Amino acid sequence: QLQLEESGSGLVKPSQTLSLTCTVSGASISGGYSWGWIRQTPGKGLQWIGYISDTGGSYYNPSLRSRVTIAIDESKTHFSLKVTSLTAADTALYYCARGGGDGYEVVFDVWGQGTMVTVSS
């Protein structure tokens, strides 16, 4: 059974870079799925950050595109999220998730439990 688990820096200073990893277990990153990141902020609910396909094509929310990178590692068992130039507005619960293919890339059927990131000096 596919499981996802987020890990990474929980407290980051303003202007620094956030780095998170999603560990994929029970399957590898393949099969025509997308692999995405979504965040939940206290005041604004859920926001889609971006996704990467298992062939490496990446797509980002235009509101975050200039600061976000999603990548798959060579082992095909992890994918990552980097967000640069952090501000307090990036404080959120960050989820990784699997999306479908063929038009369902942002319909997420498997999620991790989320990891809290706080941006503070």
Partner 1 sequence: DIQMTQSPSSLSASVGERVTITCQASHDISNYLSWYQVKPGKAPKLLIYDASKLEAGVSSRFSGNGSGTDFTFTINSLQTEDIATYYCQQFDNFPCTFGGGTKVETK
Beta bridge partners of 87: none
Structural contact between residues 110 and 93, judged by C-beta atoms closer than 8 angstroms: no
Verify binding: residue 35, partner 1, rule CB under 8 A.
no
Rounded to an integer, what distance in angstroms lies between the CA atom of residue 96 and that of residue 52? 11
Q: Which is nearer to partner 1, 11 or 116 (CB)?
A: 116
Structural contact between residues 93 and 114, judged by C-beta atoms closer than 8 angstroms: yes
Q: Which is nearer to partner 1, 18 or 95 (CB)?
A: 95
Verify binding: residue 61, partner 1, rule CB under 8 A.
yes
Half-sphere exposure of 67 toward its Cβ, with a 13 Å CA cutoff?
14
Q: Which two tokens stand for residue 85?
A: 């130039």
| Residue window 71-110: x/- pattern of binding to partner 1, with contact defined by CB under 8 A | ------------------------x-x-----xx-xxxxx
Q: Which residues bind partner 1 (CB under 8 A)?
A: 4, 40, 45-48, 59, 61-63, 95, 97, 103-104, 106-114
